[in-house]
Amino acid sequence: MVTSPKPFPDWVFNGATPIQTRLRSIVQPLARRAWKFELDGFDRLPANGAAILCPNHISFLDSALLMALAPRNISFIGKSEYMDSWKTRWLFPKMGMIPVDRSGGEKSRAALDAAERVLQRGELFGIYPEGTRSRDGMLYKGHTGAARLAIKLGCPIFPVGIVGTREIQPPDTSLPRLGGTVKISIGRPINVARYTERANDPLVLREITDELMFEIRELTGQEYRNTYATKRRSETFVAETAEIPRFATSQTPNPREMANVE
C-alpha cells in the first residue's frame, strides 16, 4: 500500500482511545441534562465487529453527541484544520478524530489508511458522506469513500439520521444553546455483500452511495440536492432539488434511475 507523507505525528491516526470511553461517562449525563434526546435504532449496532456509520452533517455537535451516546467507541474523520489550534490538536485525536486533508487525492490517503486499520481491528468508524457540514440544512450528494471502504473490507454501512443539532448550534456559532430536542436514528444496515460479484463495476460505488443517501433522507426528512456540498453551495440555492429514486434496500437499484450517476 502506497502511503502519502503525513503532516502530523503517527499517533493522531490511531483512532478512538480509552479517553473517549472515560469522557463518555462524563459527557453523556451532562448532555442529557442540557438537551432532550430521542434515540432510535441504536440496538441495530453490532456489539462487536467492524461497521461504518454514515450520518448527515448539520452541526459541529453531530460527532460529539453520536460518540457520547453510542454504546461503543467510534473513530471519526475530521477536518485537519482542527490540528491548527492548541485547543483541539491533542484532545480531538485522543477522542477518536482522524484528521483528513479535504483537498483529496494523495493528501487524504493517510486518513483513509487509518480508517482501514480501525475497521480491520473490528471497531466502529464514522464518516460523513456529504464531506462537510450542510450550511442550509439540506441533504447533499454523497461521496463514495464509505462505499469504497465497505466493499474492500466487507463491513456493513449504517445510515444515521440526525435532526435538531442545527437548531442548537448552527454553523459559525461557537457555543451551543441549552434546551431543545435532538433525534438520532440509526437505520437498517446496507450489506454490500450483494455487490461482491460487481466489485469492479465503477457504477457500484455510486449505487451504494445513492442508496445510503436515500436511507439518510428517509431518517431525517431533509430535502435533497443533487450536488456536492460546499460552503458556497450550502449558502445559496444553486441547484435544483433532485429526487433520489425510491427502491427497496433488499434490491440493487437500477443505475439508470440514479440521479447524475458518476
Greatest Cα pair distance, the chain, in angstroms, is 50
Domains of the chain (ranges, CATH numbers): 13-257 (3.40.1130)
Residue with cell string 462505499: 147
What's the whole-number mean pLDDT along residues 38-58? 96
User: Which carries the bigger pLDDT value, residue 203 or residue 37?
Assistant: 37
135 touches 171 (CB < 8 A): yes
* Mean pLDDT value across the chain: 83
Residue 102 has pLDDT above 80, yes or no: no
Residues 6+ apart with CB under 8 A from 212: 54, 129, 142, 146, 147, 157, 159, 190
Q: How confident is the model at residue 255 (pLDDT cuts 50, 70, 90)?
A: very low
User: Which carries the bigger pLDDT value, residue 87 or residue 170?
Assistant: 170
In this predicted model, what pLDDT tens digit does every residue of 175-184 receive, in sequence order?
999 999 999 9
Residue 121 has pLDDT above 70, yes or no: yes
Alpha-carbon distance of 16 to 6, in angstroms, equals 19
User: Which carries the bigger pLDDT value, residue 244 or residue 81?
Assistant: 81
DSSP 241: B
Alpha-carbon distance of 191 to 187, in angstroms, equals 12
Q: How confident is the model at residue 256 (pLDDT cuts 50, 70, 90)?
A: very low
Nearest 5°: phi and psi at 208? Answer: -60, -45
Q: Is the pTM of this model over 0.75?
A: yes
- Residue 79 parent element (H or E): strand 74-79
**pLDDT at 6 (0 to 100):** 52
**pLDDT at 110 (0 to 100):** 81
What's the whole-number mean pLDDT along residues 234-257? 41
What's the whole-number mean pLDDT along residues 32-44? 96
